[in-house]
Structure 1
Amino acid sequence: MDIEVLGALAVQENGASITPTAPKPRQVLALLALHADRVVPVATLTDELWGQTPPRSARTTLQTYVLQLRELIAAALARDAGAAGAPRTAKDVLVTMPCGYLLAAGGGGSDVRAFERLSGTGYRAMDAGDFPGAARQLREALALWTGTALADVQAGPQLQMEVKRLEESRLCALDQRIEADLRLGRHRELLAELTVLVNRYRTHETLHAQFMLALYRSGRRGEALETYQRLRTLLVKDLGLEPSAALQRLQWFILTAHPESAAAPAPGPGRERLLPTS
């Protein structure tokens, strides 16, 4: 089974799509796919589909959605009906467990697992001071994203939480990849990308610090200081907070033309604030 969730939902079994078009069966498949090879409790699926007010028929309706998914799986398995060995059934792929359901991936590909593997390798390379290797691994990890996670799935409470978790992981990988590129002297190459990012994440201090440093190293000291002032104005207006001490130090060192003396801000608890413009 091949699973893609870092963008549009796409799940294939035996080379054929088993992704339904109806909204609620898509939600069920998305949640099962995110937790492939692990049991997803009925209570979790029910909360995803109906929140805190499930109908009396919730269990029966969920079973209907599972049956619809199994029909798609059975059709995909039928493509390989002549294969040697005992044929798998739809119930072998979408398994009923005592307290829920399990989607058996059968060792197939998952873009989430690939992203986690590549980004983890990138983080270890950063820790070891291998900045070219870190930049390469993290760039490969981020290339797996084709858009917002589960962009075409109507998300309930459980999927909304999972999408936020994945987006946070994406931002962490992005932050580290940019840091690796800065250490490799690629400040001019980063300017266009960082311009977009600081406009999307208007109060993300680390991205703003990286943008300020890239601007300064590109001979645009005034714009680096303007970036700090815009961020400070927004933080005070929207959140009633001053920039972190680390970001204030970076601004001071840019003012005194010694920004390399300041470490890039590493936000502590509550300092990495994400407020996209959209």
Structure 2
Amino acid sequence: MRVRLLGPVDVLVDDVPRRVRGLRRTAVLAALALRPGAVVSVDLLVEAVWGTTAPASAATTVQSHVSYLRGVLGRREAITARRPGYLLDLGEREATDVQTAERLIRQGMETGAPDVRADRLRAAVALWRGAPLAELAGLAWFDEQAQRLEQLLLEARHALIDARLALGQDRQLVPELTDLSRQHPLHEQVHAQLMLALYRAGRQGEALAVYQRLRRTLVDELGIQPSQPLRELEVAVLRQDPVLDRPIPAAPAHLRPVARSACAGGRRAGRRRGWCAGRR
């Protein structure tokens, strides 16, 4: 049994999904599943589910929702009452797909073998079935949680691309990276990866065009220049530096996105404009 959060929220029992009926019930389950094995207070559940519009009967309603969810989960002890709230205990080492994804990503990051790293990270990315916590969009507490899970996916995808670059899969990566660069027009790491993939595919001119396009976007949107590592990558491409031919990840680890609020107004705007260029 597992609660799935990386997409529409549901319960997977013997590989068969069980949907939870009702937005508030789904929200209670998701709030508990985001902290499996830990006590979630009634106050936090009320805040997550209702925000500032909680009725006076909210605590009693939470209790009713918990009773319903125990039925969906098939056993009463799956959600135990423990002061000052409730605890989700499915008796599984990994009660949610989020836990599984985090483990696979951690294992992928820790291994030095590119093929093993790629396998772990590919398995992690495959766990996302769409926008995380999909039907809870618009509830402020869950929007914050969804943003964290979206960032986790983005980091896993970048790490997977680095692993595939290390395996020499440059030509195969160009279409995916081109699409990512359109989705995240301010994200330096995406563009660094695309530049390297194009260069290794024998498309030096296109790699340099990617840099120039990003530079114009950064200047127009944020009033800043590309970071030093990205400028150094452009110089290496211009010089056809032999170091770029080595099957190693290209994007420096410190090409990271800054806080979303610095370049986008909230979750929906962030999706439109992507992540900004990183700085230290």
Determine if the TM-score, normalized by the shorter chain, exceeds 0.5. Answer: yes
Distance in 2 (CA, whole Å) between partners of 1:161 and 1:210 is 28
Deviates more, 1:199-208 or 1:250-259: 250-259
Give, in whole Å, the separation in 2 of the partners of 1:14 and 1:118: 21
8 Å Cα contact 2:193/2:250 also seen in 1: no
Q: Does 1:256 align with 2:239?
A: yes
Matches within 5 A, 1:66-77: 66-73=66-73, 77=74
Unpaired stretches in structure 2, ≥5 consecutive residues: 264-269, 274-280
Match for residue 209 of structure 2?
Answer: 226
**Helix, strand or coil at the partner of 1:11:** strand
1:204 maps onto 2:199 in alignment? no
1:48-127 to 2 correspondences below 5 Å: 48-73=48-73, 77=74, 89-90=75-76, 92-107=77-92, 109-125=95-111
Distance 1:241 1:259, change over 3 A: farther
Determine the structure 2 residue equivalent to 1:29.
29
Contact in 1 for aligned 2:105/2:124 (Cα 8 Å): yes
User: Aligned partners of 2:81, 2:217: CA distance in 1, in Å?
Assistant: 51
Pair 1:186 & 2:164 matched: no
- Answer yes or no: is the 8 Å Cα contact 1:18–1:69 preserved in 2: no
Partner SS for 1:152: helix
1:244 counterpart residue number: 227
4+ residue segments displaced more than 6 Å: none
Q: Which amino acid aligns with 2:227?
A: S
Deviations along 1:219-253, one digit per CA (max 9) or x if unpaired, are: 11121111112212222222222211111111122
C-alpha RMSD over aligned residues: 2.5
| Distance in 2 between residues matched to 1:251 and 1:32, nearest whole Å | 47
CA contact (8 A) 2:189 2:255 kept: no
CA distance in 1, matches of 2:45, 2:259: 31
Distance 1:134 1:211, change over 3 A: same
Partner deviation per Cα, 1:170-213 (whole Å, 9 max, x = no partner): 12211111111111211001011111111111111111100011
Match in the other structure for 1:86: none
Give aligned-pair identity as a percent. Answer: 38
Alignment of 1:128-143 (within 5 A): 128=112, 130-143=113-126
Q: What is residue 10 of structure 1 aligned with on the other side?
A: 10
| CA deviations over 1:66-94 (Å, ceiling 9, x no partner) | 23323434xxx3xxxxxxxxxxx42x122
Unaligned ranges ≥5, structure 1: 78-88
Tell me how far 1:155 sits from its aligned partner: 4.9
Q: 1:135–1:222: structure 2 CA closer, same or farther, 3 Å change rule?
A: same
Give secondary structure in 1 for the equivalent of 2:272.
Answer: coil
CA shift at 1:57, angstroms?
2.5
Cα gap change, 1:121 to 1:14, in 2 (>3 Å): closer
1:43 is matched with 43
The question of whether the paired residues in 1 share the 8 Å contact of 2:6 and 2:98 is answered with yes
Structure with the greater alpha carbon radius of gyration: 1
| Partner in structure 2 of residue 266 of structure 1 | 253
> 2 CA distance for matches of 1:16 and 1:123?
31
- The alignment of Structure 1 onto Structure 2 pairs a total of residues equal to 260
1:32 partner SS: helix
- Cα deviation for residue 6 of structure 1 reads 1.5
How far apart are 1:214 and its partner, in Å? 0.5
- Scaled by the length of structure 1, what TM-score is found? 0.84
Report if aligned partners of 1:250, 1:259 keep a CA contact under 8 Å in 2. no
**C-alpha separation in 2, matches of 1:194 and 1:43:** 43
Return the alpha-carbon distance in structure 2 between the equivalents of residues 189 and 270 of structure 1: 25
Measured in 2, the distance between the counterparts of 1:259 and 1:171 equals: 29
Greater RCO (CA < 8 Å, at least 6 residues apart):
1
